[in-house]
Amino acid sequence: MKNRNSLNIMHKGISLISKSWETGDLLRKYDKDSHIHYYIQKFWSPTVITKHEINPDTICRYTEYMNFKKEEIWEYDILEYVGPTECDEIQRGIVYMVDGEWVCQIGRQAPMPLWECMDDMVRVGSYFDENIDYTSDHLAENGNTEHKEGKEA
């Protein structure tokens, strides 16, 4: 297992200005009134750095997993089952962390380790994307993100 103390964990969030996803290093900065602001900073070269203020409710961590299509999987991603077993309805789940382990929970099923999902699931969006048909009991009536502070279902 990797020594996570020495890693720079990649984050993403939705820019307050462009409303698009930005990926990079997460920064927290206080203004003169002691309000905290969150930024995603990306180093393009030693002299070119971009910094975007982001909505703190949309901050996601990179899981370091990729599915069979080589899609990066992020915290709060919505995954859809496309495996060999036939299903009567669309099976979708959400990615989150429990006790230091990345999991995917489909509907009301028990969460399963994320690594077990990578051969049968594709990324269809993020919990924060608009106009996503979540199905799978609307991701168990939004109950999978109650641990995210400030996120309203």
Does residue 140 contact residue 104 with C-beta atoms inside 8 Å?
A: no
Q: What is the mean pLDDT of the chain?
A: 84
137 and 83, same structural domain? yes
Are 53 and 65 within one domain?
Answer: no
Would the pLDDT of 140 be above 90? no
pTM: 0.78
Domain with 27, as residue range(s), is: 4-58
Is the same domain home to 66 and 52?
A: no
Tokens for 21, please give them. Answer: 């996803």
Tell me the per-residue pLDDT of 100-128, one tens digit each, with 9 for 90 and over. Answer: 999 999 888 899 999 998 999 999 999 98
The answer to whether residue 150 sits within a structural domain is: no
